[in-house]
Structure 1
């Protein structure tokens, strides 16, 4: 009897696994994957699905972020609504709108938003060191910083409404990205100059794949600070703002 071990064929490209965690060159057993690789695929798929349904650890983030926070909710009350109605994830609930009206009425340089997005696990893991690293620099340079907004069931555009309420010149949202089979905990950062409700994505700049296995914390903080500085100096963002960070000194 022929065993699977005898059927397994190694892939000539398996050396590429030394350079990437992407699912590449996993071998074959007949017309299928080897059992080990098939089981790993199923496990990674389950982990990605779990990330989509994970919840924001509000208390831990509040306890560890070095700035005042405010907890908000999008118009989507449940995860099912969030997934089925993307437009509701871009809007604040009425109680959250009222909370913002009661907080602050003076212009701010920046509003920082932390939202669960499609992977709260990513935000729970990575947002705290990134936010605190940014705060350390921004406070030193006298940026006026609105309370950090923690948003449940939020999508990127919800940050525009929050920034408008805070009268913030720039908004930064840290959000869980769509989970991949090799990256269920990837966090993204979106930055916008002069945000307002209804703007489109060409007005935003994105820093993606923030996690130790991707863009590590120091590199992500440096990139975000560069973009914030350029936005404040040039008064533009999105497709109009070219990334010429290489060789420039930050702060």
Structure 2
């Protein structure tokens, strides 16, 4: 019977350019079983990413290669369930973390850039992409003459948790690397948020965001170059957010 033959979508050739769910084809009036199963698998991966945990010990071991102090912090969300139900607590550091940051040696304060890592909504992304991105990025930052604060790791952290850390460290700019909300075509996407003059209460229009950092998206070298450009511009102009544009590639 011809009813069980998958009819190809006219847009099928576009699938080579994206992992989005387009041109799925059909069997009669239904989506092919293969695509239904792929959708369920992608949904499962997304749920797993949301509940994944930072591999803190492995991450710390990887970060030792950069010869910077590492500070392990925690938000006010005590566990994953509270983190998901109370976004406000994920935006704030707990009292122990604040005390730990305040004990930072004076020689590591008032640096140009504070790199802060947080699990966000996909610790999977951080476990996979942190080391390869920083292997490219940190030499670029140092080569540009930018000084670096201790690397902070925030468990159960959201983007704004970096504002408090950056203020205590008195950094000019914070670079928050965080696991992004997983989608049905990418459960391991990392985001980079750049904030000049970090302090609690800053809102998202005052940040610059670089999204979809992963092998199948914005690759490490391109992401690192874009981060470096935005950080240098932020320090030069003393601002980030909607007023800071990425003008790379434009004619002078």
Q: TM-score range, shorter-chain basis?
A: over 0.9
1:119 aligned residue: 122
Superposition map of 1:128-147 within 5 A: 128-147=131-150
Between the aligned partners of 1:231 and 1:197, the Cα distance in structure 2 is: 18
In the TM superposition, what whole-angstrom CA distance separates every residue of 1:109-143 from its partner, at most 9, and x where no partner exists? 11110100000010111111222322212223442
Q: Could you tell me whether the CA contact under 8 Å between 1:55 and 1:120 is conserved in 2? A: yes
What is the aligned-residue RMSD (CA, Å)?
1.6
1:227 to 225, 230, 239: 230
Between the aligned partners of 1:185 and 1:77, the Cα distance in structure 2 is: 23
Give the CA deviation at 1:13. 1.2
Between the aligned partners of 2:101 and 2:238, the Cα distance in structure 1 is: 25
Give the CA deviation at 1:31. 3.0
Between the aligned partners of 1:43 and 1:51, the Cα distance in structure 2 is: 12
1:241 to 229, 235, 244: 244
Between the aligned partners of 1:77 and 1:30, the Cα distance in structure 2 is: 50
Between the aligned partners of 2:231 and 2:134, the Cα distance in structure 1 is: 13
Report the 3-state secondary structure (helix = DSSP H, G, I; strand = E; otherwise coil) of the residue aligned with 1:139.
helix
Between the aligned partners of 2:2 and 2:155, the Cα distance in structure 1 is: 50
Give the CA deviation at 1:22. 0.4
In the TM superposition, what whole-angstrom CA distance separates every residue of 1:6-58 from its partner, at most 9, and x where no partner exists? 3x322111111111110111111233211111111111110111011111111
| 1:19 partnered with 2:22 | no
Give the CA deviation at 1:102. 1.1
Superposition map of 1:1-251 within 5 A: 2=1, 5-6=4-5, 8-65=6-63, 66=66, 67-105=68-106, 106-246=109-249
Report the 3-state secondary structure (helix = DSSP H, G, I; strand = E; otherwise coil) of the residue aligned with 2:112.
strand
Task: Give TM-score scaled by structure 1 length.
Answer: 0.94
Structure 1 stretches lacking a partner, 5+ long: none
Give the CA deviation at 1:4. 5.5
Between the aligned partners of 2:36 and 2:75, the Cα distance in structure 1 is: 38
Between the aligned partners of 1:246 and 1:205, the Cα distance in structure 2 is: 18
Q: Could you tell me whether the CA contact under 8 Å between 2:4 and 2:28 is conserved in 1? A: no
Between the aligned partners of 2:3 and 2:139, the Cα distance in structure 1 is: 56
Task: Give TM-score scaled by structure 2 length.
Answer: 0.93
Between the aligned partners of 2:154 and 2:3, the Cα distance in structure 1 is: 49
Between the aligned partners of 2:28 and 2:125, the Cα distance in structure 1 is: 37
Report the 3-state secondary structure (helix = DSSP H, G, I; strand = E; otherwise coil) of the residue aligned with 1:9.
coil
Where in structure 1 do 4 or more consecutive aligned residues deviate above 6 Å? none
Give the CA deviation at 1:98. 0.9
